[in-house]
Amino acid sequence: MIIYHGSDHIIQKPEFHAGNRHNDYGYGFYCTEHEDTAREWSVSAGRSGYINIYDINLQGLSVLDLDEFPILTWLTVLLENRTFNLASPLALEAKEYLKKEFSIEYGSFDIIKGYRADDSYFSFAQDFLNGTIPVSQLARAMKLGGPGEQIVLKRRRTFERIRYKGADPVDHLIWYPRRRNRDEQARKAYLSSDKMSYIRGDIYITRIIDEEIKRDDARIQ
């Protein structure tokens, strides 16, 4: 598999257990299969960067694909790593319920694949926790704006499989506007949906808690 990592510098040898503890899936080396997505991520600070190119042999490695689980499982992994502003009693209770009923053991996997919670997508998740949108709209919102999936190398032996293939410079004057535009388009599409309307019969976090809906419930698949 060819994978890409966007950064403000060249990384020939990724380090195990480096990076930010509070990234989406905790410590790990965050990559993507989408070259243009990595270019956008490389200029996230508003300055030029690099797209680092690698290949990795997946044979014998365990891969957790969060797309194979309900969107609330992905959100629960996020809750265990990212810092959320959960000011309301509902959001706090939602966090505890989701961690209890939707969490999975992901620490033993070599690689995790799943959505990346950029700024706009992180705000969609917070809206769900605060009871503003139902679970169906959260799932649709995560697909706005094009490829947002990431591949995260988690365990030490995974880093022994990765080979550096080179790096290309990325001009922030070209790619930062593209990144900003993608984010703005995702927000516009989100706000033009039914966010401000109560959707009768749909499943909000209050209903999930009150009815004690579990991970295997067909209504949230």
For the question of whether the overall pTM of this predicted structure is more than 0.85, the answer is yes
In angstroms, the CA 17 to CA 23 distance is 12
pLDDT surpassing 70 at residue 142: yes
Handedness of CA 139, 141, 145, 151 (dihedral sign): negative
- What integer pLDDT is reported at residue 140 of this predicted model? 85
State the DSSP string of the chain: -EEEEEESS--SSPPTT-S-TTSTTSSSEEEBS-HHHHHHHHTTTSS-EEEEEEEE--TT--EEEGGGS-HHHHHHHHHTTS-----SHHHHHHHHHHHHHS----TT-SEEEEE---HHHHHHHHHHHTTSS-HHHHHHHTTTTS--EEEEE-SHHHHTSEEEEEEEEE-HHHHHHHHHHHHHHHHHHHHTTTTTS--TT---HHHHHHTT--TT-GGG-
pLDDT surpassing 70 at residue 183: yes
Q: Cβ(80)–Cβ(114) under 8 Å?
A: no
pLDDT surpassing 70 at residue 219: yes
Q: Cβ(174)–Cβ(109) under 8 Å?
A: no
Lowest mean pLDDT among 7-21, 107-121, 147-161, 184-198: 184-198
- What integer pLDDT is reported at residue 169 of this predicted model? 98
- Structure tokens of 158? 């995974």
Q: How confident is the model at residue 146 (pLDDT cuts 50, 70, 90)?
A: low
In angstroms, the CA 42 to CA 6 distance is 4
- What integer pLDDT is reported at residue 84 of this predicted model? 85
- What integer pLDDT is reported at residue 163 of this predicted model? 97
* Mean pLDDT, all residues of the chain: 90
Query: pLDDT (tens digit, 9 = 90+) per residue, 58-99?
Result: 999 999 999 999 999 999 999 999 988 888 999 999 999 999
pLDDT surpassing 60 at residue 184: yes
Q: What is the percent of the chain where pLDDT is above 90?
A: 65
Q: Work out the average pLDDT over 109-136.
A: 89
Please tell me which residue, 87 or 6, carries the higher pLDDT value: 6
